[in-house]
C-alpha cells in the first residue's frame, strides 16, 4: 500500500485540458482580489472584533488583528507561490498531492470540504437571521421562519444559496461580477460606519491598551469549562486567563476567522487568465484591503466604548458600541451591511467547496462523475448538489457550534502548504515560479509554526471534533478513495517519489 504516492506537476497541469473535465479561464486579478474581500468581510467585521476585545484582549485586539493578518497573509503568500507554479483547481489539496503525497492531500481536501461546507452553512443560516433582523428594524412584518411543532425551518438560506448556485451554474465570471458589485457596496458601508464611528472615539478608552491578565470566568463548570479552555492552557495545566499577552494571542486565534477565504481564492487558479501572474497579485491586493478594513473597525470599536462595558453585553458588536453612545440609527445601516456582506460570502464558499470536490473527483478519490463540466465550463451537477446540501443544512440545522471547525480546518491546511514550499523547492528547482516567498526554508517553517500555535489556542472541544472528522475522512479514503484513485488504477503514472 503506497499512501504517499504523488502526482507529477506535469500530469496535474495536463489534466486542466481534459475534455469534459476542464474549467473555463475568464477571471482577472481584480476578480480574485474582490472575491477575497467578499468572503472575508461578512458579519464578522461588525462583531468579531468587539467580542475579541471584550473577552480576550481589550484595546490590544488591534494587535490581535495585525498578528492574525500577518500570519494569514504569510500563509497566503505560500499559496501564491504554488498557484503561480501549479495553477489548478483544488488549492491546498492539489499542491500537497504533488509534494507530500496522496494521503496528506486527502486529509487537506477533507478538511477543506468540512471547512467550506460548515462555513457556508453557518453563513447562510446567519444571513437569514440578519435578514429577519433587518426587516424588524425597518418595521416590515416579514419572517422567513416556519415552525412545525419543535422543528424550525428557515427559507432564507435556501433563497440565498439557490440564487448564487444559479449564477455559478451559468458561469464563474457572471457570479464574480454580481459578487463584485455587492462587495463594493458593502465596503462602502464599512467605510461609512468607520468614518462616523471616529467622531465618537475617546482616547481614554484605549487605556490600558494591554489590560492586565486576570482569571477567566468560565461559562460553565467542570467538563464544560475544560472543553472551552485553549488546548495549550489545558495541556500545561495553566489557570485559564484573559487579557494580557496571552489574551492577545487567544484573541488572534479568534479573529483569524475574519481572514478566512483566501484559500478559497486559490481554488480558482484554473479559471484565471494568466494565473501565474494574476493569482499572486489578486491574493496580495485582497489581503491588503482586508487587513486595513479590519484594523480600522477594531480601532473604532475599542475607541467608542470601554472594553469593560463591552464585556457586560451578551453578544457585543459594533452595533452595540453605537447603541451605547446613543447612535441607534447606525444599527439599521450595520444590519443592512451585514445582509449584503454575508450574501457575498455564501457565493465564494459555494465556489470554493465545489472546486475542491471537483479536483478530488477528477483524481478519482471521489466519484469521477462529479467532475464533469457542461457547456458553460462549470461542473453543473456538482454545483447544484453542493448548493442543495448546503441549503438544507443551513435551513434545518443548528450549525453554529461547528463554527470553530472552520478555523482549525483552515489552519491545518495553511500549515501543510507552508511546509510544502521548501519540499517543492528542493524536489523541483527547475519549475518556473513567477512569485517566490522570500527566506526559504526558514520563513515557511516559521509560518507553519505560527499556524500551529494559533491552532493550539483553539478549544479542547474543537480539537476533539477535528479528530473525529479526520477519523471519518480516513474511513472514506481507505474504503473508496485509495482503491479508485487514478494513480492506483494505472490511469495516471505515479510521480517522482524522492
- Looking at 231-315, which runs of residues are DSSP E strands? 241-242
> Structure pTM?
0.77
Interacting residues of 410 by C-beta distance below 8 A, sequence separation 6+:
111, 115, 256, 260, 263
What integer pLDDT is reported at residue 477 of this predicted model? Answer: 94
Residue found under cell 473527483: 361
CA 115 to CA 464: how far, in whole Å?
Answer: 15
- Residues 364 and 369: their CA atoms lie apart, in Å, by 9
All 3 cell numbers of residue 103?
Answer: 494521503
Q: Which of 173, 171, 150, 169 minimizes the C-alpha distance to 161? A: 169
Are the beta carbons of 461 and 218 closer than 8 angstroms?
no
Enclosing H/E stretch for 352: helix 330-362
The C-alpha atoms of residue 7 and residue 13 are separated, in whole angstroms, by: 10
CB 477 within 8 A of CB 106: yes
Cis peptide before 5, with omega less than 30 degrees from 0? no
Domain that holds residue 80: 25-487
Q: Give the cell for residue 80.
A: 501564491
Matching residue, cell 471519518 = 472
Q: State how far the Cα of 21 lies from the Cα of 17, in Å rounded to an integer.
A: 8
Q: What is the pLDDT of residue 224?
A: 53
Distance between CA atoms of 30 and 285, rounded to whole angstroms? 8
Distance separating alpha carbons of residues 354 and 168, to the nearest angstrom: 10
- The CA distances from residue 57 to 65, 121, 203, 211, 421, in Å, are 10, 29, 17, 7, 33
How many whole angstroms from its chain centre is CA 359?
Answer: 18
Q: How far apart are CA 199 and CA 59, in angstroms?
A: 18
Q: How far apart are CA 51 and CA 44, in angstroms?
A: 10
Query: Residue 265 belongs to a domain with what CATH number?
Result: 1.20.1740.10
Q: For the packed helices 244-255 and 44-52, what is the interaxial angle rounded to 10 degrees?
A: 160
Q: How far is CA 482 from CA 12, 146, 487, 488, 493, in A?
A: 18, 43, 9, 7, 15
384 contacts 198 by C-beta, under 8 angstroms: no
CA distance 201 to 62: 15
**Taking the CA atoms of the chain, what radius of gyration do you get in angstroms?**
22
Q: What is the pLDDT of residue 38?
A: 79
HEC secondary structure over 49-95: HHHHHHHHHHHHHHHHHHHHHHHHHHHHHHHHHHHHHCCCCCCHHHH
344-356 pLDDT, tens digit per residue, is: 888 888 888 998 8
DSSP of 126-166 = HHHHHHHHHHHHTT-----EEEETTEEEESHHHHHHHHHHH
Q: Is 3 part of any domain?
A: no
In a domain, 437, yes or no: yes
Q: Looking at the domain assignment, is residue 367 inside a domain?
A: yes
495 within some domain = no
Q: Is residue 243 part of a domain?
A: yes
Map grid coordinates 422567513 to a residue.
144
Q: How many residues does the chain have?
A: 498
Under the phi-then-psi rule, with left for phi > 0, alpha for psi from -120 to 50, and beta for the rest, what region is 277?
A: alpha
Query: What pLDDT score does 220 carry?
Result: 43
Beta-carbon count within 10 A of 374 CB:
12
> How many independent structural domains does the chain possess?
1
Structural domain includes residue 492: no
* pLDDT beneath 50, residues of the chain: 219-222
Please check whether residue 134 lies inside any domain of the structure.
yes
Q: Is residue 498 part of a domain?
A: no
Distances in Å between the alpha carbon of 16 and those of 127, 283, 325, 326, 481?
Answer: 35, 21, 55, 56, 21
Q: List, in sequence order, every residue forming a beta bridge with 230; answer none if it has no partner.
A: 459
Sign of the Cα torsion 311, 312, 313, 318 reads: negative
- Which residue has 500549515 as its cell numbers? 415
Instruction: Tell me which residue of 105, 85, 118, 176 sits closest to 378, measured CA to CA.
Output: 176
What pLDDT sits at residue 498?
A: 53
Closest CA to 405 of 121, 42, 90, 164: 121
Amino acid at each position: 500500500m503506497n499512501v504517499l504516492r504523488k502526482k507529477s506537476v506535469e500530469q496535474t497541469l495536463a489534466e486542466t485540458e481534459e475534455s469534459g473535465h476542464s474549467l473555463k479561464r475568464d477571471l482577472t486579478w481584480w476578480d480574485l482580489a474582490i472575491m477575497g474581500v467578499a468572503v472575508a468581510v461578512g458579519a464578522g467585521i461588525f462583531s468579531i472584533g468587539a467580542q475579541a476585545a471584550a473577552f480576550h484582549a481589550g484595546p490590544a485586539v488591534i494587535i490581535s488583528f495585525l498578528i492574525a493578518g500577518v500570519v494569514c497573509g504569510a500563509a497566503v503568500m505560500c499559496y501564491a507561490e504554488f498557484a503561480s507554479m501549479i495553477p489548478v483547481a483544488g488549492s491546498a489539496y492539489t499542491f500537497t498531492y504533488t509534494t507530500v503525497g496522496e494521503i496528506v492531500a486527502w486529509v487537506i481536501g477533507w478538511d477543506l470540504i468540512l471547512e467550506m461546507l460548515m462555513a457556508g452553512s453557518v453563513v447562510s443560516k446567519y444571513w437569514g437571521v440578519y435578514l429577519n433582523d433587518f426587516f424588524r428594524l425597518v418595521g416590515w412584518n416579514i419572517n422567513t421562519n416556519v415552525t412545525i411543532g419543535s422543528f424550525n425551518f428557515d427559507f432564507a438560506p435556501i433563497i440565498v444559496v439557490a440564487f448564487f448556485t444559479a449564477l455559478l451554474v451559468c458561469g464563474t465570471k457572471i457570479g464574480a461580477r454580481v459578487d463584485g458589485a455587492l462587495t463594493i457596496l458593502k465596503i462602502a458601508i464599512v467605510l461609512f460606519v468607520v468614518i462616523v464611528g471616529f467622531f465618537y472615539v475617546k482616547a481614554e478608552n484605549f487605556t490600558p491598551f494591554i489590560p492586565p491578565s486576570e482569571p477567566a470566568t468560565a461559562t460553565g463548570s467542570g467538563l464544560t469549562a475544560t472543553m472551552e479552555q485553549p488546548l495549550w492552557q489545558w495541556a500545561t495545566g495553566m489557570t485559564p486567563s484573559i487579557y494580557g499577552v496571552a489574551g492577545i494571542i487567544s484573541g488572534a486565534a479568534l479573529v483569524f476567522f475574519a481572514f478566512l477565504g483566501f484559500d478559497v481564492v486559490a481554488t480558482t487558479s484554473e479559471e484565471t487568465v494568466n494565473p501565474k501572474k494574476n493569482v499572486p497579485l489578486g491574493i496580495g491586493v485582497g489581503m491588503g484591503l482586508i487587513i486595513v478594513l479590519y484594523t480600522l473597525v477594531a480601532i473604532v470599536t475599542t475607541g467608542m466604548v470601554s472594553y469593560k462595558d463591552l464585556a457586560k453585553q451578551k453578544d457585543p458588536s459594533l452595533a452595540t458600541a453605537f447603541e451605547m453612545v446613543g447612535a441607534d440609527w447606525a444599527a439599521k445601516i450595520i444590519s443592512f451591511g451585514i445582509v449584503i456582506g454575508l450574501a457575498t460570502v455564501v457565493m465564494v464558499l459555494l465556489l470554493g467547496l465545489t472546486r475542491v470536490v471537483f479536483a478530488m473527483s477528477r483524481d478519482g478519490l471521489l466519484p469521477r462523475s462529479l467532475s464533469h463540466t457542461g457547456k458553460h465550463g462549470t461542473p453543473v451537477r456538482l454545483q447544484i448538489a453542493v448548493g442543495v446540501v448546503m441549503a438544507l443544512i443551513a435551513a434545518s440545522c443548528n450549525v453554529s457550534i461547528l463554527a470553530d471547525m472552520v478555523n482549525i480546518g483552515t489552519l491545518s491546511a495553511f500549515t501543510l502548504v507552508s511546509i510544502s514550499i521548501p519540499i517543492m523547492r528542493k524536489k523541483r528547482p527547475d519549475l518556473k515560479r513567477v512569485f517566490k516567498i522570500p527566506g526559504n526554508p526558514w520563513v515557511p517553517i516559521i509560518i507553519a509554526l505560527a499556524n500551529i500555535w494559533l491552532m493550539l489556542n483553539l478549544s479542547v472541544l474543537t480539537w476533539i471534533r477535528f479528530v473525529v472528522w479526520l477519523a471519518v475522512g480516513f474511513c472514506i479514503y481507505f474504503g473508496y478513495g485509495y482503491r479508485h484513485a487514478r494513480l492506483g488504477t494505472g490511469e495516471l503514472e505515479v510521480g517522482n517519489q524522492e
